[in-house]
Structures are given as structure tokens and as C-alpha cells.
Amino acid sequence: MNWHAVKAIYMFEINRAIRTIGQSIISPVLSTSLYFIVFGAAIGSRINEIDGVSYGAFIVPGLIMLQLLTQSISNAAFGIYFPRFAGTIYEVLSAPVSAVEIVLGFVGAAATKSIVIGLIILATATLFVDFQIAHPLWMLLFLVLTGFTFSLLGFIIGIWADGFEQLQLVPLLVVTPLTFLGGTFYSIDMLPEFWRDVSLFNPVLYLVSGFRWAFYESSDVSILVSLSMTLGFMAAAMAVIWWIFKTGWRVKP
């Protein structure tokens, strides 16, 4: 393993995030703070507790997961798309660097940035609501696994995209709606039976549910099911990336 190459790619992506700290970190934190103000304070005061948890505290895991998913995808997609757009990806591919090392560098940096944003939002949430984390280690595990998994998905999107519009297509039109419909602001037990069954086909539900269990030991599905689904998503994304480098699809002229 060429760790010098992994570090070079990783640090380049981290430094790019630092140079654009307003867009990379401050913007998602401010937007999430507005959610806390509107949903947690204004609307939350009119909603009863959910599973024994105040509404403001109940939405904390969902809001963190919302930003974690979108930021993981966006960071990884832009990270690999720009080298393709500028043509510098061919210099990386011609260097003595394996596909595994390339993916570790780009995906590792994207996951790191999204996890840092998630932790900052978690700290920011304490300014608006009172909550406790029942299982901190489980919370960190889901945070890391989800950040890494959706950074892999973002890496795939960055290779697939032909333009900047397509980079935003999946996060805006697919991931964000699925997150809103995946129990971010409610428990699926509050839905009619038909829509509750439909929600079980939403993959984001399992991520949000598992993450919320780590906070309050309350979830819509079993924690083991949530963990299994997360690992399954990761394995599927890794298989697609393996195929991309094996065939050279969109990474080789």
C-alpha cells in the first residue's frame, strides 16, 4: 500500500475544503441551525413527545443524517469530478498508484469532511435542545459507516456525471427527498399502515433509524437490521467502484 500517495490525495482534498470553508462547513451548519429554530423551537413546542422524547430532541439525529448524506455525496462527487474535468485524473492513473489508494484518498477525505460537519452540527444542536446520547460508540460507528458509504456513492456519481448539473441531480432529486421521507422529522409509526409499509422500502429509513437508536434507544426498525443495511449499501458501492476501475468506464480514454 502506497500510503504516501493516499496521504497526498487526502491532504489535497482536505486543503481544498479549508480554502472554501464557508461553503464546505459554515453553510450546512447554518442551514441546519434554521431547521432547529423552525422545527425544533417553533413547531416542536406544538407537538407532543415522540417515544418519550421531545420533538426538538427527536429530530436531532435525522437532521445530522440529512447533512451527513448530502455532504458525503457532494464532497466525493466534486472531489473526483474536477480531476476528470481538468484532465488531471490521467496523471493520477498513470502514476504508480492503485485504484484502492485512489479511492481511499478521495473517499477518505470526503468522509472526513462530512463526519466533521456532522459532529459540528451535533455540538450546535446543544444550543437549541437538550438531549442525551445513550450509546456514543454506536453513534460514532453509524456516523463513520454512513459517511464512508455515501462518500463511495458520491465517488460513483462524480465519475458518472458529464456536467455540474448532473453532480447535483442525485443529491437534490433523490437523496434529499428520501431523507425527508425516511423518518427525519417523524416516526413511521405515525403514518397510516399503507404508507408505513411503503416507507420500509426507503433505504434512508434504516440509516436514520439506526442513528436515532444510538441516541434514544428508540427506532422504527431493529438496530441490527439498520447496521446490516448500512453494510450492504457499502458493499454494493464498493462492488460498483471495483467494476469501474476494472473496466475503465469513464476513467480511461
pLDDT at res. 81: 92
Distance CA 213, CA 62 (A): 11
| Average pLDDT of the residues in 60-82 | 91
Q: How confident is the model at residue 134 (pLDDT cuts 50, 70, 90)?
A: very high
Q: Which of 215, 43, 248, 67 is nearest to 135 (CA)?
A: 215
pLDDT at res. 45: 64
pLDDT at 40 over 70: no
102 with 9: CB under 8 angstroms?
yes
In percent, the amount of the chain with pLDDT more than 90 equals 42
Q: pLDDT of 187-243, one tens digit each?
A: 888 888 888 888 888 889 999 999 999 999 988 889 999 999 999 999 999 999 999
pLDDT at res. 127: 85
